[in-house]
Amino acid sequence: MSEPLLVRVWAPHAERVDLVVGDRAVPMVRGADDVFEQEAPAAHGERYGIRLDGGAVRPDPRAVWLPDGVHSPGAVYHHDRFAWTDEGWTGRPWEQAVVYELHVGTFTPDGTFDAATRRMEHLVDLGVTHVELLPVCAFDGVAGWGYDGVAPWSVHEPYGGPDGLKAFVDAAHRHGLAVILDVVHNHLGPSGAYLSELGPFFTDRYHTPWGESVNLDGPGSDQVRAYLLGSLSAWVHDFHVDGIRLDAVHEMQDNRAVPFLEEISAAMDGWSSRLGRPLVTVAESDRNDPWTVMPRGQGGLGMTAQWDDDVHHALHAWLTGESQGYYADFAADPPTALQTVLTAAFLHAGGYSSFRGRSHGRPVDRAAVPGYRFVASLQTHDQVGNRALGERLPALVPDGHLAAGAALLLLGPFVPMLFMGEEWAASTPWLFFSSFDDPDLAAAVTQGRRAEFADHGWRAADVPDPQAPGTVERSRLVWDERHDPRHAAMLAWYRHLLRLRHTHPQLRDPRLDQVRVEATDEVVTMHRGDVRVAASVADQPRTVLLDRPVGTVLASFGRVAGLDGPSTEVLLGPGSAAVLR
C-alpha cells in the first residue's frame, strides 16, 4: 500500500533535482537555502532515488534502507510499520555504566543483528549495562569495520537493515540493556559517497587521515551540520538508541564560535529531557582535554564522557612491557604511569609527549570531574585491530596478567568498556578487513595496509590481506571456546568482578580524589574506600603490605595466601589478583 514519501535534499550545485520513484520521475521544488522538496506516494520497499540535472539516479542522502547497496537507489522505508514494545523503557544511568563494544559482523558466525540478539542473555549475566555498536551505516561491500560508511542515515543491509537494528534495540531494552551507536562525522568512506555532488559537504581547507574534512565551519556548513544533526535525531527518535559515540572528534575541524560538538551535546540533552530517559554522548578524543566533558555553562563542550586511551596505554605497557610508538612514555616508568592514570585520568596532562614531540593535554580537576566522565579499557577494536596481526591481549600475556589488568579496570573509578570476547580471553584475533568490489580500490587498501606496517619492519607477506575473505572469518568470535576450562575461568573472573562493582558502593564511587594507588614494576594496589584491589604480574610470589588490616577475600584469581585472620599482609602468587576487604 502506498503512503506519502517526503524527500528533502540540499543541493546548491544543482539546477534541477528529480525525485524518482520506481519508473516515475517528479521534479522537486527548490525552496529556501537551496533545499529541494517533493512528496509522492510510494509503497514500503519500493525503490526510489534522486537525479541531479538529468544524471544518474543516486540514493536519497537521507535514505534509511539501501538493500541493493550504496551505489543503487534506496528502498522506501515507513518507520511506523515496526511495532515497538519498549514503551516502558526509561534507560540506564550512565554513572553506573559498564560498556560492551560489539561489532555486529563478527560478534557471531552469522554476523547479523538477529544473531547478536540471541546472545543478549550472555551480556546480562556478565554485568553489562550499555552495548556500544561499532558503526552500522551502509558501506560498500559486505564486510568491514564500519568506519567507511557513506550514508549516515542508513543501516547496513547485510547486518539486517533498519528492521534488524530496531529489533536489536527493542530486545536490548527488554533485557535492560541500553544501546550506544558509534557514528562517524569526520569523514565518509572512499566508495559510494555522493554527498559532494550535492554541495559543499567537504572542504579542502583541512585534511584528515582519510582525506578531505567534513565542512563544519565554511560556507554552507549550516546545512551540513543540520544534515548530520538530523541523522542523530533519527537514531534517537526512529531507532530508540540511548546514545552515540562520536569517532575521532579531534579530526572534526571546526573554528566556529559554537563548536558542532557543543551543538550536538545541547541537542542530545534536549531530546533526553523531552523523551524522559538518559541519552549519552561519548567522544573519542586524543586531546586529553577535560573541557570536552565539562558543562556547556562552564565553557565546556558538554559531552557525557570521553574515551581515555591513557588508561589503556598505561595498563598495556605494564602488562606487556611493550614500548613502541605511543607506549613509550607509559613504558618509561610504568608504576608512575599507572598511579597517575588511575587517579587523575591522564598521564599527558600538559607535560611532554615523546610520541608527539611536544607537550600535550590539560590536567583533570580530580575534585570536580567524576570518573564516569572517562571511558577506560583494557582492549578495544582500535587497539587490537590496529596491530598487524590483530592480537588480543591473551595472545601477548599469561592469563594471570590479563586477570590483574581486568581487576584494575573493572574496579577502577572510570566507566569500564570491554571489547567483545575479552571476558573469556577469546583466542580469535580481530584483524583489519574490508570487501570493496572495485579492484583498484581493493588493491590500494591491501597495499596501504602492508606499506603502513613495512615502516615498522613487517614483511608484506606477513600482514594479512584486508580484502581476503579469510581475514574477516578469522576475526569472528568462537563462542564454544567459553566452555574450555581456561576460558571459563576467565569468564567467571569477569562476572565476579562486575558483580562486585555493581554491589559495592565503594567500587562505584566516582570521586577521583578518593582513589589511592601504590605501584611497582610488578605489583599494583588500588584503594577504593575499604576495598583493596591488589594485582601482580610478577613471576614469583610477592608480599603486598596494606595500609590497614583486611580479613575478607572478595575475589581472587591465582594463588592468594596470608589472610587467615585480619592482616596487613597478603601473599600474591605469580600472575594473580585479589579483591580484599
Query: Which residues are marked as active site?
Result: 247, 284
566 burial type by CB count under 10 A (0-12 exposed, 13-18 middle, 19+ buried) = exposed
Paired with 415 in beta bridges are 375
Q: Please, what sign has the CA dihedral across residues 325, 331, 332, 334?
A: positive
Please report where in the chains the cell 600474591 appears, as a residue: 572
From residue 500, give the alpha-carbon distance in Å to each of 128, 408, 497, 519, 555.
Answer: 13, 13, 5, 22, 9
123 and 130 Cβ atoms separated by less than 8 Å: no
180 and 142 Cβ atoms separated by less than 8 Å: no
DSSP string, 326-363: GGHHHHHSHHHHHHHHHHHS-S-SSSEETTTTEE----
From residue 256, give the alpha-carbon distance in Å to each of 155, 229, 246, 478.
Answer: 31, 16, 19, 47
558 and 574 Cβ atoms separated by less than 8 Å: yes
3-class SS letters over 435-452: CCCCHHHHHHHHHHHHHH
450 and 389 Cβ atoms separated by less than 8 Å: no
- C-alpha cell, 460: 608484506
195 and 60 Cβ atoms separated by less than 8 Å: no
d(CA 90, CA 178): 10
580 and 570 Cβ atoms separated by less than 8 Å: yes
Element (H, E) at 500: helix 485-503
- C-alpha cell, 410: 573493572
d(CA 394, CA 18): 55
Please report where in the chains the cell 580537576 appears, as a residue: 365
Write the Ramachandran bin of 575: left for phi over 0, alpha for psi from -120 to 50, otherwise beta: left
Which of 242, 138, 107, 223 has the alpha carbon at shortest distance from 181?
Answer: 242
Write the Ramachandran bin of 281: left for phi over 0, alpha for psi from -120 to 50, otherwise beta: beta
d(CA 478, CA 475): 9
